[in-house]
Structure 1
């Protein structure tokens, strides 16, 4: 029996994405994520160390508000994660910890 891996991937992709969305939704319900995150909250949420958080905050494309200290808007963070999902998977334990 031959397996068409492209067809298999096409069939599984929507289910996997739906499952990931459910996991994120559950995590959001269980954790009251503030509208604006501090660096410590960002570290906890992404399961990263301070040096990695500092690296993120130094990126020109990372959403950070510096006018009131260092604050990360939750909604912009999620948009950034969507745009940079490969980087998050490669550089954090976020998906491994869920």
Structure 2
């Protein structure tokens, strides 16, 4: 199943939920900073990430989105940013 690059971002108001959201997203992320992460996801992983965040977040106070990035467009970075690359393998665990 092919992977697509997503930019996953969240805004969580409660410190406990924030730690839980960070734990969830880092399980899927290949890079990122603060509350925005690059994630190479299959369709099933994308759905699983949404289910996990739905379980963690208070949907009346917090927000989460995973935006698919256009693979045909060049990736532009500034400063010390590193362009995301699809690694040879992924480790989830």
By the TM > 0.5 criterion, same fold?
no
TM-score of the two chains, using structure 1 as the length reference: 0.29
**Bigger share in strand:** 2
Which structure is larger by alpha-carbon Rg, 1 or 2? 1
TM-score of the two chains, using structure 2 as the length reference: 0.30
**Bigger share in helix:** 1
